Amino acid sequence: MMGKRKHKPQRTCVGCGQVEEKSVLIRIVRTPEGVYVDPTGKRPGRGAYLHPRRECWQQGIDSSLSHALRTSLGKEDKDRLVSYLSSLDQEG
């Protein structure tokens, strides 16, 4: 058998456009109820990925997330994402 290498799934951050290991990115998911952060990465729905850092997050909220998720972000959606980022900031 050929040496089997563990393939690490990669995704593109919609904030900076960098390809990154999926495990370091945070998934954002579009649901019928709105746009949510999906820390488990398992929520069904159209997803997009962002680095857990302010520049990428802001870029995503301002423009690229709505494009990636093919929806428009309402105020509640944006507030929810911003507050999630704030909670990350407090840890770091």
Q: How far is CA 63 from CA 3, 11, 70, 90, 91, in A?
A: 43, 18, 11, 25, 26
Distance of CA 34 to the CA centre of its chain: 14
63 versus 76: smaller Cβ distance to Zn ion: 63
Per-residue contact string for residues 5-44; x = within reach of Zn ion by CB under 5 A: --------x-xx----------------------------
13 versus 85: smaller Cβ distance to Zn ion: 13
Site for Zn ion in 43-62 (CB under 5 A): 51, 56
Q: How far apart are CA 1 and CA 39, in angstroms?
A: 36
15 versus 27: smaller Cβ distance to Zn ion: 15
Token pair belonging to 49: 């990925």
Residues that bind Zn ion (CB under 5 A): 13, 15-16, 51, 56
